[in-house]
Amino acid sequence: MRWQGREGSDNVEDRRGAGGGGGGGRGGGLLGIIVLLVGAYYGVDLSGIVGGVPQIGGSAPVAREQPAQRSAQEQELTQISKVVLRETEKVWSDYFHRHGAHYRMPKMVLYDDRTHTACGTGNASAGPFYCPADQKLYIDLSFYNTMKHELGAEGDAAFAYVLAHEVGHHVQTVLGTIEKVHRAQQRVGKREANALSVRLELQADCYAGLWAHYAQKDGLFEAGDIEEAYNAAEAVGDDRLQQRAQGYTVPHTYTHGTSAQRKQWFQRGLHTGDIEQCDTFK
Ligand SMILES: [Zn+2]
């Protein structure tokens, strides 16, 4: 990506080095996990592979043993994240404006390991996530290494896809979709709730694609970047993650969609640049 020299967003809250937990504490952590399980936050959700591959959460401590390397890579990732967030602000502000509406920008929180959120304690091992209750995206930058080493999705554009997906959840919040779906989920059984979750997640993928459509026009991407983003969308498909974690798949437990679906919806947003084409609830 051509991120160097580009404007970064100021809507960033840096909690790194805050000592973990961010005020959550042990009790808060347990309560947080309960809140997270009822689906109040929306993220990549790697909890499946975390169970199967215990060392995945260890990527941050390993990086800390090499402070110089960590800081160089982290500085770069920090800047990339700010630039991507700024690009989403530009694209979505323009898009809302063209449709006679105002885009309320989200905040991006950078943290290490664990942090307090309005949705409970956020744990980096589950991957980046968005909390509708405080309208913030939570990112532990070590996820870049998790993507590269554990998920086989390397590169800045792969990382950008994940950020744009989380911003997609913010757009769903602004449009009232998340609240509507969350209410519907409380009225149905587990299977149907999962199916609704899949539709919500695929829509966030389509929104990420819509963002990429306009970011591409803005000259952000270089050769190979779109392929990197496709590869990342496939890498976080439920079938791929479950196969990796437990050696088999259980489709009715899917909450994010298969690799093929995630790529397909990202592609749809990318090709059309039209939010009407992202109606996964039809
Ligand atoms: Zn999501």
Look at residue 7 and tell me if it is in a domain.
no
Look at residue 199 and tell me if it is in a domain.
yes
- Burial 190-206, CB ≥16 within 10 A → b, else e: eeebbebbbbbbbbbbb
Look at residue 79 and tell me if it is in a domain.
yes
Residues 197, 39 contacting (CB under 8 angstroms): yes
Ligand 1 mean position to 235 CA, how many Å?
13
Ligand 1 mean position to 61 CA, how many Å?
25
Among the listed residues 115, 229, 254, 226, the one whose alpha carbon sits nearest the alpha carbon of residue 163: 229
Look at residue 5 and tell me if it is in a domain.
no
Look at residue 177 and tell me if it is in a domain.
yes
Residues 51-90: tens digit of each pLDDT: 333 333 333 444 444 555 558 889 999 999 999 999 999 9
Ligand 1 mean position to 45 CA, how many Å?
8
Which residue(s) pair with 110 in the sheet? 14, 139
Ligand 1 mean position to 128 CA, how many Å?
9
Ligand 1 mean position to 130 CA, how many Å?
8
Ligand 1 mean position to 123 CA, how many Å?
15
Which residue(s) pair with 276 in the sheet? none
Look at residue 201 and tell me if it is in a domain.
yes
Q: What average pLDDT does the chain have?
A: 86
As a whole number of angstroms, the distance between CA 56 and CA 139 comes to 16
- Domain count of the chain? 1
Residues 235, 15 contacting (CB under 8 angstroms): no
Most confident of 19-23, 67-71, 168-172: 168-172
Ligand 1 mean position to 166 CA, how many Å?
6
Residues 215-227: tens digit of each pLDDT: 999 999 999 999 9
Ligand 1 mean position to 269 CA, how many Å?
15
As a whole number of angstroms, the distance between CA 35 and CA 126 comes to 14
Residues 106-134: tens digit of each pLDDT: 999 999 999 999 999 999 988 899 999 99
Check residue 275 and report its DSSP letter. G
Look at residue 2 and tell me if it is in a domain.
no
User: Residue 124 sits in which domain range?
Assistant: 12-278
Ligand 1 mean position to 67 CA, how many Å?
31
Helix locations, the chain, DSSP H: 25-37, 47-52, 59-64, 67-98, 143-146, 156-174, 177-187, 190-217, 225-235, 238-246, 259-272
150 backbone dihedrals φ, ψ, rounded to 5°: -100, -30
Look at residue 209 and tell me if it is in a domain.
yes
Ligand 1 mean position to 127 CA, how many Å?
10
As a whole number of angstroms, the distance between CA 171 and CA 209 comes to 13
